[in-house]
Structure 1
Amino acid sequence: MRAPAMLRWAAAAVTLVVLVAAAPAAGFYLPGVAPTDFGKGDSLPVKVNKLTSVKTQLPYAYYSLPFCKPNAIVDSAENLGEVLRGDRIENSPYVFQMREPKMCQIVCKIAVTDKEAKEFKEKIEDEYRVNMILDNLPLVVPVIRQDKNIVAYQGGYHVGVKGQYAGSKEEKYFIHNHLSFLVKYHKDDDSELSRIVGFEVKPYSIKHQIDDKWNDVNTRLSTCDPHANKFVASSESPQEVEAGKETIFTYDVHFEDSDIKWASRWDTYLLMTDDQIHWFSIVNSLMIVLFLSGMVAMIMLRTLYRDISRYNQLETQEEAQEETGWKLVHGDVFRPPTNSDLLCIYVGTGVQFFGMLLVTMIFAVLGFLSPSNRGGLMTAMLLVWVLMGLIAGYSSSRLYKMFKGSEWKKITLRTAFYSLGLLLLFSSY
């Protein structure tokens, strides 16, 4: 009775393999990175993110400054990585319609107080940038690099600029109150649907003038009027940041058909202008490590060469002569060092850190940590760090037992809390 049963199982297995092999291949998207198709006229909500600066590491929420606000501010759901990065994604009063340009759209009019003007000036002094998001794409500013004559990109636009104007020797602060957005899209050949592949902006500072009287968003401006073919193309008459003065915020929206495919839209962010700072730091650290390693290697080689020469001269003398120099090392090979507990803890923490980097890099290479999944890298690093704690505890306790230690459970607990405790201690200052 066993032979027919085995034949039935074998036939079922062969049938399953044939069905799987004959099934058509189907692609899939990772969660959070699927493309979104937009038809003509569809709403494109623009979201705002934190204010960041390359001069300071302290981020601020977008609405910490008196920018134009929507009727109700709604916070977007954020993952653990976004929270740790300081992201604060909220809605904005900017709303686009797919492939429908807008010119000289008025957002709001504000009059800053003394305190608000001081805050604006501080952010301009520290070169803070405004970050926005459209269809999960961060806002960039195209910058022409004079050294290579190519177009690079800057993440976010500056809140304002500081400089002299109209022959004045005193430097003043000017706010960027007019934004000229450019939305690049890739249109489907078989339908009217499109996908967003680029989100750029050119900021301007312009002191707007009202034609008649203020009528909210329907006000006619003499400095920016599409009916009279007047558009903002420069900052010849900038808007100064000063308490009590009214500032009118406006924006334009342009759409441009692009050959860039949706899968390649993140390639733009490989040409960011801020990357050169990181390269300089990496090269500087590498040179210091190589220099110090070379000095230590030279000292060790000279010492070892002198001892070996001395030993060769003493070979013809009595064998009972006292051992000196490097010959004494053989007695310390298996001898537990002083503070072996700390050595085991450091080794376990190093294994945990190296394992976290290795696993995270493997997942990033495989495409599981796409940049479109904002905060995914930070979240993955934290989860892998926690899981690698098991290997860290095993490594530290294993090395401790090699030193003939008996309290390996205590070493495991110290490995788990030692590095975290030091990190919390230093971060509190």
Structure 2
Amino acid sequence: MISFTNMIDIAAFAALASFIASLLIIFTQNWHGKHSLDLTIGGIQKIHNQPVPRVGGIALLVGIASVVTAQAIDDGFAVQLDTFELSKLLLASTPAFLTGLVEDLTKKVSVKARLMATLASALLAAWLLDASLSRLDLWGVDAILQLIPLLAVAVTAVAVAGVANSINIIDGFHGVAGSAVVIMLAGLAYLSWQSNDVFVMHLAMLGIGAALGFLLVNYPTGRLFMGDGGAYFLGFWLAEVAVLLVIRNPKVNAWQVLAVCAYPVIEVLYSMYRRKVIRRTSPGAPDRLHLHTLFYRRVVCLRLARNDQRPWARNAVVACFMSGWIASTTLVTVLIGDTVGNAVGVLVAHVLIYIAVYTRLVRGRWDPNPAIALGFFRSQSVAREWQ
């Protein structure tokens, strides 16, 4: 039986620890700012206008680790957790977190190295917690995955690494990535509650708490960034909660879980397609054409005047739009996505809405022609709109 009081305590303790750690990072930035401050103001993906510490991932890790540590040390601690299994997951997150943190401090870690680190974390989780997907609710595919366990591990590693990197991709404005993860974890927590899976719900509530504690400092003023370390850590945590939910609960269909986590995945896949097919550049090349960036440039900057007293205000509006979007799709998914058919329908609708809104932001008007969004156009004037 799931105790809601215990769940709230878990999130509250994680939030408090994360919040305190976030404040300590800010108050001590004169000591570590030489390495931790994001000084690349005005870069192709930079919106902020002053140096900000980008090591908020430390606070996120502290938020979760402190609760697990306190429970391990004191059996009478206010919250009750399976500390051994949680410690395994924290250990598995180490490659992704540390590689991201090194990038935050040095700006010298390649994209390939960071991708390999997230893959390593996924493989560690598969080994330590037996967290590999042998079921995708695809006819024929499930039988193959069960027949070839190494293939199941490989598929899981790619999926986990993909989600971890997708959170890093959407981390461009104050509160966007943090609120997105909170909402998606809340959706997964609801599904785990329906399945009476206490362990997975513990994982979700720990992630929610740590992210909320960080958001108290990050949003709306952006005094601390989660950085690559934080994005990879939160993304890995989200992905593993999703994987474990599917593995441990046969009645939860994999497509419903994917639909809960769909937004960042859609963003990454469409960005890769857009860069490779439409713009004919490297799929990993940075640009300012993510949906959240387009919303900022094409809507916020045009309709909301800059406020010198609150220079962060326009930046903060983006999270309101994105969190509303993600909350809506998550709510629909958990309410009606309990069958494979319904979940696939929700996912397809999400993709179509994303493409329609994206095309609207690029072109400045609604365009019913799907060929435009897919890059099948000959007009040079249309092509320039996507550059």
- Scaled to the shorter chain, the TM-score interval is under 0.3
Larger relative contact order (Cα-Cα within 8 Å, sequence gap ≥ 6)? 2
Structure (1/2) with the larger helix percentage = 2
TM-score by length of 2: 0.24
TM score, norm. by length of structure 1: 0.22
User: Which structure shows the higher strand fraction?
Assistant: 1
The structure whose Rg is larger is 1
